[in-house]
Amino acid sequence: MNAWERISVVQGNIVKLPVDVIVNAANNTLLGGGGVDGAIHRAAGLKLVAECALLGGCKTGQAKITKGYNLPAKHVIHTVGPVWHGGNRDEAELLASCYRTSLQLCVEHGLKTIAFPAISCGVYGYPIEEAVPIAVRTTLEFLVEHELPEWVQFCCFDKDLFEEYQKVVATLKE
Ligand code: AR6
């Protein structure tokens, strides 16, 4: 299967997705927060924050894995996206690294299906027209080189983001 056939764009709430692993757009403490982080912790239950507390935080651009507890997803990969400062503080490389390190954890743990939120595109202020091509391109480059994960979903909470992903996928495919 070619790499394009292994990605999908969906609209909805990532906590509902029955995949091997969902990705959390966390902060350096890994102890919870607002946005998708808050939604994932609420749905997973308190055992998730207890496991996260043992991980010693996470550097920006890196990722760590836990169980999914009460989520339909079996695991959660917690990654920390960059805060947008205008684009001159290595934001693009750090964002790409979030996708690469999360995908690499799928290889290491034998995970076949993963769903990503739009890392850094909420509280952290990354402009979606800059972030979405990085998400899609970095993921495709990884899939070309690796058999796992077999399937990647980009989960968009709102319609604008969903449309942006569809536009970027269509443009890159040409
Ligand atoms: N399902 C899918 N996407 C969601 C959901 C959901 N349930 N909820 C929000 N989004 P954000 P960041 C989208 O702010 O910018 C936290 O407090 C949202 O619309 O969650 O990386 C952390 O603890 C947006 O497109 O993450 C950090 O402190 C995307 O998820 C900080 O926010 C990311 O928005 C991280 O900020």
| 145 CA → ligand 1 middle, Å | 28
pLDDT band at 46 (very low <50, low <70, confident <90, very high): very high
Asked if 18 and 74 count as a contact pair (C-beta separation under 8 A), the reply is no
Q: Is pLDDT above 90 for 85?
A: yes
* Per-residue CA distances from 139 to 27, 41, 53, 172 (Å): 21, 25, 29, 12
Cis geometry, peptide bond prior to residue 72 (ω within 30 degrees of 0)? no
Task: Tell me the mean pLDDT in the region 71-77.
Answer: 98
Ligand 1 atom with minimal separation from the 25 CA: 21
Domains of the chain (ranges, CATH numbers): 7-169 (3.40.220.10)
The residue contributing the CA closest to ligand 1 atom 19 is 157
Question: pLDDT of 105-147, one tens digit each?
Answer: 999 999 999 999 999 999 999 999 999 999 999 999 999 999 9
35 CA → ligand 1 middle, Å: 4
**Res 173 pLDDT > 90:** no
Q: In the predicted model, what is the mean pLDDT of residues 141-162? A: 98
Helix axes 128-145 and 91-109, enclosed angle (nearest 10): 40
What are the residues whose beta carbons fall under 8 Å from the beta carbon of 47, sequence distance 6 or more?
67, 69
